[in-house]
Amino acid sequence: MTTSVVKKSSGFRRTWNRFKTYITKPQNAILLVLGIVLTISTIYPMFTIARDTVRLHPGSVDTQEKALESQVDALGTTLTTYNWTNLFTDTITTRVGRERVTRSVASIYLWTPLMNSVLISIFACFGAILYGGVFAYLVTRTNLRFKKYLSSIFIFPYIMPQWTLAVMWQNLFNSNAVTGGNDGLFVALFNLYMPKWWCEGLFPVSVVLAIHYAPFAYILIGGIFRNMDANLEEAATILNTPRWKIFLRVTLPLVKPAILSTILLVFSSAMGSYPIPHYLKLSTLSTQYVGMSSNRAGQASILAVIMMLFGFLILIVNQRTTSGRKNFTTVTGKSGQSSVVNLGAAKYIISFLFVLLTLFTGILPIILFAVETFLPNPGDYSFITHGIAGHTTTKWWLTAENVTENGMYGQKGILYNADIWNAFAGTFFVAICCALAAGTIGTLIGYCVSKNRRSKWASYVNNMAFLPYLMPSLAVGVAFFIFGSGAGIYNTFLLLILAGTVKYIPFASRSALNSMMQLSGEIEEAAIIQDIPWWKRMTRIIIPIQKTSIISGFLLPFMTCLRELTLFMLLCGQGKIITTMLGYFDEMGLYAFSSGINLILIILILVFNTIVNKLTGASIDSGIGGDS
C-alpha cells in the first residue's frame, strides 16, 4: 500500500516538474494562457447561440398557443424544441393576388435564404478567382502597360467599405420604371433601362462580391506567379510543349494552393455578407437573420448556427487541403526571374480594358458619392440633360442650424453635425483599441506558434485564433450580441472592442506567424546565451527585424475596423459608431448624408493606407508586380 502511494506521489511530482519546466520558457507560458483565453472568448459566445435556439423569447410565440404562454412569461428560461419545430414544420398562409397560398416557414426563412447565400458565395469565388487571377497573371507574367497604376487601383474595392460598390450599382442602374425611386446615371446619360434582374437580386450581388474580393485572388495568386521559377516552364518549352499545355500542366498546378486559399476566404466572407445583399435586395441568411431577430429570435439563432457550421466546415477543409497538400519548389538558386509573355499589340487593348474596369470599380464610386452630396435630390441626375444651374446645393454640408424644411428633418449639415463627428470619434476609439489588442495578441501568437511548430497545442491555438476569420462576420456578431446582452454590456464600447479583437486577431497572427517562421532560431539563441531577458529579446531583436510585418498586423485591424458594419451592427445602437448611422440616414431618406459619410470613410481609409505605405514601405500589392 505504501509503495503505491509513493509511486503516485513520484508520478505527480514528475508531472509537476515537467509542467514547471515547460512554463519556464516564455513562449510556452504565453501559449498556454492565450490558448485558454481564446477558447473562452471564441467558443463561449458561440455556445450562447446554440443555447439560444432552445430558449423561448417573448413576442416570438403565437398567442394562440396557450400551453407556451407560461414559459414565455419566464423570459425564456425554459429549454424547449419549439424554435426548431416551428422553423422546420410550421406553415404560413399569405395572399397572392386573389388567392391564398400556404408555404412552409422553412422555405421562406431558411431554404431560400440558404440557397441564395451558397449561390452568391460560389459565384463570388468563381468571379474573384477569374478576375483577380487573370489580372495577377497579366501583371506578373506579361508586358502589360501601366502596371503600377493598375495594381494600386485594383485593390481599392477591398480597401473601401463593402457596401460602396453596391450603392454605386444602384446609382448607375436603378430607374423609376423598374426599381422605383430616382433614375440612375445610365438612364440620364443613355436613356437605358436595365432589367430588374440586373438591378437587384442574385446577379448584381454576385458581381459586386466578386469585384470586392478579387484582390484576395490577386494577392495570393500573384505572389506565386511572381516567385515562380522560370526553369519549370522553360524546361517544358524546350520539349516543344504548347503554351496552353504548359499553363494547364505546369503553371496551374503551382497556383492551386493559392486558388484553394482564395476559395476558402472568399466563400466564408461572402456567406456572412450583409450590406451588399441588403442594398441590392436579396434574401440571404444574413439579411433574414436581421429581419427575424426582433419577432423570431430563437429561429434567427438557428440561422446563425447554420452560418457557424459553414465556418467549421471551411476550417476542416482548410486543414485537410493544407496538411495533404503537395509541396512544390518554386524558388531555386538557379533562376529567380520569371519569363515574360509578350502580348504584342494586344497589350494596349488589354491595358485600356483594365484601366476602364478599374475606373468603374475604384474611381467612379468616390466621384459619385461626392456628386450625391451636392444634389438637392440625391440619385436624381437630371442635371446632366437640363444643365447644372439650379440642380446643385451645399445644404447637406453647410447647414449650421436645425432645419425642418428642405428635406433636412431637423439635421444640421455634415460639417456641423455633432452626432456624425461623435460617431466618427467612437469609430476611431474602437478601431485603435481593437488594433492594439488584436495586434499584440496576434504578434504573441505568431511568435509562440513559430517556437513550437510541432506542438499539437500550438496547432490548436493557431486554429482557434484563425477560426473567427473563417466564421461569417454576422455569426460572430450574433454570438457576441447574445453574450453581451446576457452580460449586461450591450451597446458599450467594451463589447465592440471584444468582438473586434476576436475577429481581427487572425490578421495579426497570420502576419506575425509568416514573418516569425522566416527567423532562424540562432538569432534568439545567441541572446539567450548572453542572459538577455525575454522582453528585451522581443523589443531589441525580434520586433525590429520583423517590424514591417508586425506593423501590418496592427494596421490591418485598424483599417478594417474603420469600415466594419456587419460585425458591429447588432452590438450597438445607431450613432455609437459611424457605420451604424448609415442605416439610420437611409431610413430617414437622407441619402446625401449616407453618401457624405461613405465619402469621408473612403478618403480616410485611403489616406491612412497611403501614410502606412510611405512610413513603412509596406503595401498590400508590394512584391506582386505593382512596383513596376
Grid look-up 512596383 returns 627
Percent with pLDDT over 90 in the chain: 17
Q: Which residues share a beta bridge with 93?
A: 102
Are 422 and 575 in contact by the 8 Å Cβ rule? The answer is yes
What local confidence, expressed as pLDDT, does residue 188 receive?
Answer: 82
Residues 172-200: tens digit of each pLDDT: 898 888 888 778 888 888 888 999 999 99
CA atoms within 13 A on the CB side of 271: 28
Q: Please spell the DSSP secondary structure of 499-528, one letter per residue.
A: HHHHHHHHHHHHHHHHHHTTS-HHHHHHHH
Domain ranges of the chain: 108-410, 412-589
Closest CA to 554 of 443, 447, 391: 443
Distance between CA atoms of residues 170 and 595, nearest Å:
12
Specify the higher pLDDT residue, 549 or 217: 217
C-alpha cell at 399: 447647414
> Can you tell me the mean pLDDT for 589-594?
86
In sequence order, which residues have a C-beta less than 8 Å from that of residue 196 and are 6 or more positions away?
Answer: 178, 179
Confidence of residue 295 (pLDDT cuts 50, 70, 90): confident
Residues 329-347: tens digit of each pLDDT: 444 444 445 567 778 888 8
Confidence of residue 401 (pLDDT cuts 50, 70, 90): confident
Residue 609 CB coordination number (10 Å): 19
What local confidence, expressed as pLDDT, does residue 272 receive?
Answer: 84
pTM above 0.85, yes or no: no
Which homologous superfamily is 412-589 in? MetI-like (1.10.3720.10)
User: Picking from 1-5, 275-279, 499-503, which range would have the lowest pLDDT averaged per residue?
Assistant: 1-5
What local confidence, expressed as pLDDT, does residue 130 receive?
Answer: 93
Report CA-CA distances (Å) from 449 to 253, 461, 539. Answer: 29, 8, 18
290 pLDDT exceeds 70? yes
Are 451 and 443 in contact by the 8 Å Cβ rule? The answer is no
Residues 110-123: tens digit of each pLDDT: 899 999 999 999 99
- How many distinct helices (H) and strands (E) make up the chain? 32, 2
**Which one-letter DSSP state was computed for residue 91?**
E
> Can you tell me the mean pLDDT for 152-166?
86
Are 420 and 410 in contact by the 8 Å Cβ rule? The answer is no
Specify the higher pLDDT residue, 65 or 125: 125
SS3 93: strand
Distance between CA atoms of residues 63 and 82, nearest Å:
14
Distance between CA atoms of residues 268 and 163, nearest Å:
17
Residues 542-574: tens digit of each pLDDT: 777 777 777 777 887 888 888 888 889 889 888
Are 49 and 308 in contact by the 8 Å Cβ rule? The answer is yes
In sequence order, which residues have a C-beta less than 8 Å from that of residue 579 and are 6 or more positions away?
Answer: 161, 427, 563, 564, 565, 568, 569, 601
Q: Which residues share a beta bridge with 95?
A: 100
429 pLDDT exceeds 90? yes
Distance between CA atoms of residues 29 and 17, nearest Å:
14
> Can you tell me the mean pLDDT for 276-298?
87
Residues 495-505: tens digit of each pLDDT: 999 999 999 88
Identity (one letter) of the amino acid at 476?
V
> Can you tell me the mean pLDDT for 205-227?
85
Specify the higher pLDDT residue, 223 or 422: 422
What local confidence, expressed as pLDDT, does residue 126 receive?
Answer: 94
What local confidence, expressed as pLDDT, does residue 543 receive?
Answer: 75
Domains 108-410 and 412-589 are alike in CATH topology: yes
- CATH (residue range 108-410): 1.10.3720.10
Specify the higher pLDDT residue, 626 or 358: 358
Instruction: Tell me what the pLDDT averaged over the chain comes to.
Output: 80
Residues 297-312: tens digit of each pLDDT: 888 888 888 988 888 8
Distance between CA atoms of residues 140 and 121, nearest Å:
27
Report CA-CA distances (Å) from 298 to 82, 295, 494, 615. Answer: 9, 9, 25, 49
> Can you tell me the mean pLDDT for 607-627?
64
SS3 203: helix
